[in-house]
Amino acid sequence: MPEVSIITPLYNGSNTLEETADSVLAQDFKDWEWIFFDDGSTDDTIEIAKKIQSKFPDKIFLYTHDNNSNHGTAFSRNRAFEKSKSDIIAFIDQDDIWYENRLSHQINIFRNKTECAMIWGPALYWYKDRSFVQSVGLNGKGLKSGIYDPPDFVEIFLSNLKGTPLPSASLVRRKEFVNVKGYEESIKGSEDIVLWLKLSEKFQIYYDDEVLIKYRKHQDSTLRKASDSGKMDEWNLVFYQWVIDFLKRTSSNESILEENEFAFYKNLKKISGKENYLKSRKDLYNRLNEYPDIWKKYSGDYLLDLVLPFDTASRISAKLRFDLFKKK
């Protein structure tokens, strides 16, 4: 049995998959299997994956959903996990790049930190014309390498969502992945964050500050297309509702819960704000009625929204809630 199972969900990744594959095949750590799971690609991604698989048919495996259907990244990663064999799970997305020592470096640490359910490190955010190292830590203030006890990372991750682990820079133990029931298949766009929150609420996690991957930022990514189309705003409602329910179930402090409830309310306004003034206020009213707890808590904020632009009202509300009142 290989020491590591690598999982890659595929969806219309023909422009980047070969470069990603080159970085995996160039790893100085060789004891792995690699599982592709296509999520209904409509380009020639499957043909490219078959060509890559043909080089190592005993190590690389390709699966597809029935009828070439599309179910989302979380669903596809879970199905790929069910096909995997190893006790350690690695992920790489179809457009990211691993440095040659990505696996060997983290595996060497992980072997000695058997108490940790996960290890991760920062990524190099890689644009066409620039790059920079991912900001991590509480409000992006940085992290020291070492073990973090539960639930330390819950607050850290929720303080800076852009500083949460990337799948391509993380290893997870099979036992703990099963314990938290893997990816939440109802979540789209932020399914990784939800998995990290579930793991960090229960288990120790190791952070290592060495940059080992390049995270490609480009216009053709699934998240970019979802953001441009407005789908991401609707997906974020489901995400924030999950986070709010999660925080209510756990012992996290009240301020984190309130910040995420406020983020949920702002996201409602972002969706409603696509309409004109009158329609947007009516739409927000109707949406708030679908969430009685949020409506009850933010009825006063809604009065501000009736007389001010949404962005201005949000800034005033945030100032009152998270600055002035908390200083008293």
Residue 270 CA to residue 81 CA, distance in Å, equals 35
Yes or no: say if 194 and 177 are a contact pair by the CB < 8 Å rule: no
What value does the mean pLDDT take over residues 117-125? 97
List, as one string, the DSSP characters of 82-143.
HH---SEEEE--TT-EE-TTHHHHHHHHHHH-TTEEEEE---EEE-SS-EEEPP-SGGG---
What value does the mean pLDDT take over residues 74-94? 98
Residue 79, pLDDT > 80, answer yes
Model confidence at 56, pLDDT cuts 50, 70, 90, reads very high
Model confidence at 278, pLDDT cuts 50, 70, 90, reads very high
What's the pLDDT score for residue 317? 87
Residue 37, pLDDT > 80, answer yes
Position with higher pLDDT, 247 vs 322: 247
Yes or no: say if 80 and 37 are a contact pair by the CB < 8 Å rule: yes
- In the block, which residue shows the tokens 């069910």? 82
For the chain, percent of residues with pLDDT exceeding 90: 86
Residue 133 CA to residue 96 CA, distance in Å, equals 14
- Output the CA–CA distances (angstroms, integers) from residue 99 to 17, 124, 142, 197, in the order listed: 15, 11, 22, 26
Residue 327, pLDDT > 50, answer no
Question: For the chain, what is the largest distance between any 2 Cα atoms, rounded to a whole number of angstroms?
Answer: 66
Residue 324, pLDDT > 70, answer no
Model confidence at 328, pLDDT cuts 50, 70, 90, reads very low
Instruction: Residue count of the chain, please give it.
Output: 328
What value does the mean pLDDT take over residues 34-61? 97
Q: What angle do CA 239, 142, 317 make, to 5 degrees?
A: 50
Where exactly are the structural domains of the chain? 4-218, 226-327
What's the pLDDT score for residue 13? 94
- Condensed to tens digits (0 to 9), the pLDDT of residues 157-166 reads 999 999 999 9
Question: Which CATH fold topology does 4-218 show?
Answer: Spore Coat Polysaccharide Biosynthesis Protein SpsA; Chain A (3.90.550)
What's the pLDDT score for residue 219? 67
Residue 83, pLDDT > 60, answer yes
What's the pLDDT score for residue 321? 76
Mean pLDDT of the chain: 93
Model confidence at 222, pLDDT cuts 50, 70, 90, reads confident
Segment among 100-104, 170-174, 247-251, 300-304 with least mean pLDDT: 247-251
Cα-to-chain-centroid distance, residue 153: 14
Model confidence at 128, pLDDT cuts 50, 70, 90, reads confident
Nearest to 194 by CA among 241, 248, 232: 241
What's the pLDDT score for residue 19? 97
Segment among 112-116, 128-132, 238-242 with least mean pLDDT: 128-132
- Condensed to tens digits (0 to 9), the pLDDT of residues 97-110 reads 999 999 999 999 99
Residue 302 CA to residue 308 CA, distance in Å, equals 10
Residue 220, pLDDT > 90, answer no
Tell me the whole-structure pTM to 2 decimals.
Answer: 0.93
Model confidence at 254, pLDDT cuts 50, 70, 90, reads confident
